Chains A and B, each alone.
Chain A
């Protein structure tokens, strides 16, 4: 008996409403204390006025501070912030803040906050309105006579159409195409009499191979950037923006490791890189092959070079092989030797383009 009852809810699901449910409408509006109590209203009014007043005071203080404090020479006042900086920033900031806070307070306490429901209307205009609009447009076209005067119409179309051309022509300024510039660096500008010396970055001194000890890392640049005459290079070629361009391709890191640790790889032409090093000294491009950040975070113990931008890691004992990260290609290695004075020099240019990939990188002969 009871089982049969339990299968149906005691209330039953069968009560069917007899008509549509009445719209309950919005609940009664609840008034704020400031709406019903004149004393509170007065108080809120005063509060808003005080906030605006504080803003005015801050603005005046800003003007006073501007003329009182010297800019720059009292940086150590007020906890190292500088009296001028601190006062100007704080007063102007407070002046704006108090206006904002005052307006919000005003809106929350005093402005009407009755909920209003607005019914939606169809977006389409009435047929009458549409007809009037179309009529106005047609009248305008007729009056301008653009249909009757093809000379004007066509010359206007031509003039406007031609305006598109400058936008296209100016794309030319994105060029000229780099040509073979990306394939070569200034390391290749050494001559037989003066092979390109490797010098310390920043202080521009050449490096004696015998001076370096195992574990040393040197950040290097080509000597030509500091000493172009020696290589018969026009000095203007290594000044200003040209200097930056050369550095961005030629920056080098030099490492001396235990010669037994080095696994010589293959050069681009298939020959061995065995004679690219000098007594365990190896040289690699400093420009990451991923997006071109300069890298010199080296771990002496593992010979791993880490790029700080995206954590690409290269094994400098193993032809710059990528051991981790997004870089797609090994770091280019520079073949080095010593000149007759014992200074480290480049044998020739890198045998592949340095830095990140570009479209035509692998499609053209160098």
Chain B
């Protein structure tokens, strides 16, 4: 008891010290955080049943998605008859996981393109939304990690996969997404996005579901093992060194041409201006007699 009193007294002496306030604040934050973690309902709880997930997803859907996609995901048409938000009845959970998980949905505004942006929902909310939309009808499910991950494969197998993936990528993907996956322009203001550095799961889902204007590459079109090959190839591209310096966005002749014309010719023009410029003149006359 005396010990306690003594230490309390020692503490009390420091209570107006310069770091006391900060210390109290940190302790308070830690306590609040710890309490929340201990007592808050764990949303990603694996015990949470599918039904509960769907129910939670429906609530999120009504708040964030129903305005464009309809209260039951049936889609909304404009007065002109074009689509305001497409029906989500048969898009499957993979489509939601891709669109919301890459930040494309919710869209900031209607337009030709739903660009990738900051993700709005948390992981758990995305899982709930996917479960709800997946429950509306048919459509591809979120793929398991073993479908796209090369973990645990031998280097030789991975190399073979990368080589096969390259063939498939060059035949099917480069037309829109560029030979290095840097993306490219599409009609009416759209563009095929850059697909380098994208999560393997999202690439798999994009092939399955064909986001926006993209064609689908269903399992009957490109079998799962070949999808894994494409992803392995893209990951290999990400890790591949960029020999000889700048890639200039890997866009081919466009960016290289701009650099050559603007930069290269600019330097030459600069030299031409320097060569033809007047030199400094002196007001003095040369002493002809001395010369």
Residue positions of A touching B, CB distance < 8 A: 30-33, 35-37, 75-76, 79-82, 85, 104, 108-109, 113, 200-203, 207-208, 210-213, 215-219, 255, 294-302, 304, 306, 308, 311, 313, 324
Question: Which chain B residues (195-241) contact chain A, with CB distance < 8 Å?
Answer: 210, 212-222, 226, 241
Query: How many whole Å from B174's CB to the nearest CB in chain A?
Result: 9
* Contact A306 B216, beta carbon cutoff 8 Å: no
Chain B contact residue count (CB 8 A cutoff): 42
**Inter-chain contact count A-B, CB under 8 Å?**
124
* Contact A308 B175, beta carbon cutoff 8 Å: yes
Q: Is B168 an interface position by the 8 A CB rule?
A: yes
Among B187, B216, B284, B286, point to the contact of A215 (Cβ < 8 A): B216
* Contact B213 A75, beta carbon cutoff 8 Å: no
Known: A31-B285, A36-B282. Contact between A203 and B218, CB under 8 A?
Answer: no
Which stretch in B29-37, B151-159, B242-250 binds the other chain? B242-250
Query: How many whole Å from B13's CB to the nearest CB in chain A?
Result: 57
* Contact B187 A32, beta carbon cutoff 8 Å: no
List 20 A-B residue pairs with CB atoms under 8 Å apart, sorted by A's residue number: A31-B282, A31-B286, A32-B279, A75-B243, A75-B244, A76-B241, A80-B245, A82-B245, A201-B172, A202-B170, A211-B218, A211-B220, A212-B221, A213-B216, A213-B221, A217-B216, A299-B186, A299-B187, A300-B216, A301-B212
16 more contacts with CB within 8 A, not counting A31-B282, A208-B220, A218-B221, are: A35-B286, A36-B282, A36-B284, A80-B244, A82-B244, A200-B222, A201-B172, A203-B167, A213-B216, A216-B218, A219-B172, A297-B175, A298-B215, A299-B190, A299-B213, A306-B186
Q: Chain A residues near B216: list those with CB within 8 A.
A: 213, 215-217, 300
Q: Chain A residues near B172: list those with CB within 8 A.
A: 201-202, 217-219, 296
Q: Roughly how many angstroms separate A297 CA and B220 CA in the complex, as a whole number?
A: 20
3 shortest A-B CB distances, which residue pairs?
A211-B220, A217-B215, A202-B167
Which residue in chain A gives the minimum CB-CB distance to B177? Answer: A297
Q: Roughly how many angstroms separate A215 CA and B282 CA in the complex, as a whole number?
A: 78
Query: How many whole Å from B205's CB to the nearest CB in chain A?
Result: 14
Q: Is B164 an interface position by the 8 A CB rule?
A: yes
* Contact A31 B281, beta carbon cutoff 8 Å: yes
Query: How many whole Å from A223's CB to the nearest CB in chain B?
Result: 15
Query: How many whole Å from B291's CB to the nearest CB in chain A?
Result: 9
Q: Chain B residues near A301: list those with CB within 8 A.
A: 212-213
Query: How many whole Å from B153's CB to the nearest CB in chain A?
Result: 19
Query: How many whole Å from A62's CB to the nearest CB in chain B?
Result: 18
Q: Is B275 an interface position by the 8 A CB rule?
A: yes
Q: Chain A residues near B212: list those with CB within 8 A.
A: 301
Q: Is B274 an interface position by the 8 A CB rule?
A: yes
Of the listed residues A108, A109, A208, A302, the one surrounded by the most CB atoms of chain B closer than 10 A to its CB is A108
Q: Chain A residues near B251: list those with CB within 8 A.
A: none
Known: A31-B282, A36-B284, A304-B187. Contact between A216 and B171, CB under 8 A?
Answer: no
Hey, what's the 0/1 contact readout for B77-116 against A, CB within 8 Å counting as 1? 0000000000000000000000000000000000000000
Q: Roughly how many angstroms separate A217 CA and B213 CA in the complex, as a whole number?
A: 12
Q: Roughly how many angstroms separate A75 CA and B243 CA in the complex, as a whole number?
A: 7
* Contact B285 A36, beta carbon cutoff 8 Å: yes
Q: Roughly how many angstroms separate A291 CA and B28 CA in the complex, as a whole number?
A: 72
Known: A76-B241, A300-B215. Contact between A295 and B175, CB under 8 A?
Answer: yes
Q: Is B12 an interface position by the 8 A CB rule?
A: no
